[in-house]
Structure 1
Amino acid sequence: MRRIARAPWELLKLLFGWLVLFEARNKVLLAPSAVRLRRFEDAEVLRLAPATAQVPSALVATVIATHRRPEALAAAVRSALAQTEPDQVVVVVDDGAGLPPAGALPDDPRLFAVSLSRNIGTAGVVRNVGIRLTRSRYVAFLDDDNLWEPDHLAQALAVLQAPGGPDAVYTALRRLRADGTEQDVLSVPFSRRRSARESFLDTNAFVARRVPALHFSRLRRTPEVLPREDWELIRRYSRRRRVQHLPSPTVRYLMNPQSYYTEWDGAAATAPGSPAGPLS
């Protein structure tokens, strides 16, 4: 009987892909949280708009979401500002913990940092605030515990701005263990069919043209909720926009054993589904 009961589920996974089915379930079960979080996001954008009124509409805006990782954040910001593509702005959005003290971040006119009024614990909402506070033609994303190689944006923009180029690109990830040694390089050509079954998409490597579809899911995703915001954004974006993979590893991606929200004491909170092969 159990084998018979499992047959329809296995057939659905075969037809649609398990990630697509899980995301459909998420949208049903977590819909109430999305409504509340959209209201919070709108209010925060309105509150913070005066503080970011001077953010220029550079060619590309880099959005860095952060929460209680001041030293890692400073390194991530430096790697963003060190890009060989100078026409960019970097917007740091802190998830309600408070920004690092003066002098902790580089003094650069291209850097703008804001803090949400309270901790919301939803990465997609934090990043959406950063997107909405900028006006650049392209948007890139960097987490506060990862780093870019100096030519990350230049490589991506060269493809995006070429005649007949795609709407978005993502590069390869050089995945690092906690001790700094390299684990592997994740480089998977884009395929919507494959993405229904494998979560190899990560926004640290993603640079995209600003369109209405460029916003993260507002569902409250705990570490147990799969798939993650990165997968959902890129797959939804690719529904009507062309996405291309660049095999050059331009992102140094920390295989962080902790959840998105790191505790001050560094206590490990292992997130189920943390990437050991494809990203979760």
Structure 2
Amino acid sequence: MSGVVRRVARAPWSLLKAVFGWLVLFEARNKVLLAPTAVRLRRIEDAETRRLAVGPASPPSALVATVIATHRRPEALRAAVRSALDQTVRDQVVIVVDDGAGLPELPDDPRLFAVSLTRNTGVAGVVRNVGIRLSRSRYVAFLDDDNLWESDHLERALAVLEPPDGPDGVYTALRRVLPDGSEKDILSVPYDRRRAARESFLDTNAFVARRNRSLRFSRLRRTPEVMPREDWELIHRYGRRYRVLHVPHPTVRYLMNPASFYTQWGQPS
């Protein structure tokens, strides 16, 4: 009898998931429960952006700004920065934003601009937003400090974005790598916004987009247990108003690190 009661009680939830998708429903819940956290974090983001914008240096102008958020991963960060600077697209600025821990020594390159926040926010979206707001590029790309790009990542993205009839955003395929260095698989899913409401296959490490008002990350404070992640939220919201396409070529080496805030790909039970 108890099993029947549980099934009846779950019926409305199952219907809502079928209609809207579980990721959309979870995000709606997040916006209700976590909204107070975003208010304070918006103030911090604004203050940090103002402080850094009036500093003695500013990011060089470029066609693409690559934003790398980091926190206490010096060796991995240097590798990520090098993979960004080694792109075949040279018209690029790499903006490293440290979340209050202090910057390690980084390559001496005029295309690299690195800053530290005055405090640790613990929210990747806020850190990335500071990088977006400090830049003035036509396109923005994102790379986590523990992931790597193939050298043609930006070239392949821009080849689709730049034509007059091109989309506003693209994402490439991910080569997902386990902590021992072995390859798990290649994640390559064509863009379908309805499918994205039910399946978690969007990640900003593979995303390159035209700058507009929708290109900003959620400021909700998401603990590792909170789903979906801010990566999914950004691309799904961006795709509401702007055209997004998939480039089915793996250009991102994505570390599935249990100790990190990596994307959870499956639906929770």
TM value normalised by structure 1: 0.91
- Tell me whether 52-61 or 201-210 shows the greater mean CA deviation: 52-61
Q: CA deviation at 1:247?
A: 0.5
Q: Would you say 1:155 and 2:156 are equivalent positions?
A: yes
Q: 1:16 aligns with which of 17, 20, 23?
A: 20
Partner AA of 1:142 in structure 2: L
Looking at structure 2, the residues matched to 120 and 195 of structure 1 have their Cα atoms a distance apart, in angstroms, of 28
Aligned to 2:38, which of 34, 38, 48?
34
- Bigger drift between 44-53 and 205-214 goes to 44-53
Please give the alpha-carbon distance, in whole angstroms, between the structure 2 residues aligned to 1:225 and 1:57.
36
How many angstroms does 1:53 deviate by? 4.5
Fraction of identical pairs, as percent: 78
Deviation of residue 50 (structure 1)? 2.4
SS in 1 for 2:48: helix
Q: How does 1:256-267 map to 2 (within 5 A)?
A: 256-260=257-261
Please state whether the residue corresponding to 1:238 is helix, strand or coil: helix
Residue in 2 aligned with 1:106?
107
- 1:164-198 Cα deviation digits (max 9, x unpaired): 00000000001111121111100000000100000
> Are the counterparts in 2 of residues 52 and 112 from structure 1 also a CA contact under 8 Å?
no
Query: In the TM superposition, what is the alpha-carbon distance from 1:3 to its structure 2 partner?
Result: 1.8
- Contact kept, 8 Å, 1:52 with 1:133, in 2: the verdict is no
Aligned length: 263
CA shift for structure 1 position 52? 6.9
Show CA shifts across 1:83-136 (max 9, x none): 000000000000111111xxx311000001101111100010000000000000
Distance 2:138 2:264 in 1: 32
1:43-87 Cα shifts (integer Å, max 9, x gaps): 000111123753122000000000000000000000000000000
Aligned residue identity for 1:226 = M
TM-superposed CA distance for 1:205, in Å, is 0.3
Q: Which stretches in structure 2 are left out of the alignment for 5+ residues?
A: none
Using the TM superposition, name which of 53-62 and 134-143 deviates more: 53-62
1:17 and 1:196 in contact (8 A); partners too: yes
Q: Which amino acid aligns with 2:66?
A: T
Quote the Cα distance in structure 2 between the aligned partners of 1:5 and 1:91. Answer: 49
Structure-1 separation of matches of 2:164 and 2:52: 37
The residue that corresponds to 2:9 in the other structure is 5
Name 2:93's counterpart in structure 1.
Answer: 89
- Match of residue 167 from structure 1: 168
Once the two structures are superposed, residues 188-245 of structure 1 have per-residue CA deviations (whole angstroms, 9 ceiling, x without a partner) of: 0000010000010000000000000000000000001000000000000000100000
Q: Which runs of 4+ in 1 moved over 6 A?
A: none
Say whether residues 1:198 and 2:199 are aligned partners: yes
Q: Secondary structure at the match of 2:102?
A: coil
After TM superposition, give the deviation of residue 163 of structure 1 in Å.
Answer: 2.4
Matches of 1:71 and 1:54, distance apart in 2 = 25
Instruction: Find the counterpart in structure 1 of residue 241 from structure 2.
Output: 240
Deviates more, 1:137-146 or 1:43-52: 43-52
Shift in CA distance, 156/219, structure 1 to aligned 2, threshold 3 Å:
same
Residue 76, structure 1, aligned to residue 80, structure 2: yes
Mark the CA change 1:125 to 1:185 in structure 2 (over 3 Å): closer, same or farther.
Answer: same
Distance in structure 1 (CA, Å) of the matches to 2:58 and 2:141: 19
Q: TM-score, normalised by structure 2?
A: 0.95
Distance 1:172 1:127 in 2: 21
Are 1:62 and 2:70 counterparts? no
Matched with 1:251 is 252
- Structure 1 residues without counterparts, runs of 5 or longer: 261-270
